């Protein structure tokens, strides 16, 4: 039984994103956090700010940009998962909360990685 290529791409994207964030000074505190309300790709601390990080890997522009793929429905799921995580799990002490996106363009080598800090607000979810 072979591995799922989508899952392998997702893992690659999350590994690239985690390394990028760590190099930028973030501390990864969770990966692939699965909850009833959804999944959080990465949970990290940026200083004292707890960040819920959505990773988007694109191999081409055929389906739009990584940012465009995070629609209102996806934002609501991310916010719901973040709320559930905060209510049910012990997390490192933190100050503010933030939703970040790591967009990876894998159509080139090496991949182009962009960090969108504070990509959306809870009110816009």
CATH topology of domain 11-61+73-114: Trna Endonuclease; Chain: A, domain 1 (3.40.1350)
Return the structure tokens found at 124: 């816009």
Using pLDDT thresholds of 50, 70 and 90, give the confidence band for residue 22: very high
Q: Which residues of 85-111 are buried (b: 16+ CB within 10 A; e: fewer)?
A: beeeeeeeebeeebbbbbbbbbeeeeb
pLDDT in tens, 93-125: 888 999 999 999 888 889 999 999 999 888 755
pLDDT of residue 15: 95
Query: Tens digits of per-residue pLDDT, 37-52?
Result: 999 999 999 999 999 9
- Starting at the edge strand found earlier in the chain, the sheet holding 27-35 runs 27-35, 38-46, 49-58, 97-105, 112-116
Helix (H) or strand (E) holding 97: strand 97-105
pLDDT of residue 1: 47
Over range 48-64, report the average pLDDT. Answer: 85
Domain boundaries, the chain: 11-61+73-114
- Write down the pTM of the prediction: 0.89
Region 54-75: mean pLDDT is: 81
């Amino acid at each position: 039984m072979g591995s799922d290529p989508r899952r392998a791409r997702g893992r690659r994207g999350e590994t690239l994103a985690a390394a990028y964030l760590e190099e930028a000074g973030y501390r990864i505190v969770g990966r692939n956090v699965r909850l009833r309300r959804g999944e959080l790709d990465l949970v990290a601390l940026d200083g004292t700010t707890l960040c819920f990080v959505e990773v988007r890997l694109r191999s081409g522009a055929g389906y739009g940009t990584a940012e465009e793929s995070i629609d209102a429905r996806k934002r609501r799921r991310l916010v719901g998962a973040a709320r559930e995580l905060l209510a049910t799990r012990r997390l490192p002490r933190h100050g503010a909360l933030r939703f970040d996106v790591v967009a990876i363009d894998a159509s080139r080598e090496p991949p182009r990685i962009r960090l969108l800090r504070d990509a959306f607000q809870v009110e816009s979810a």
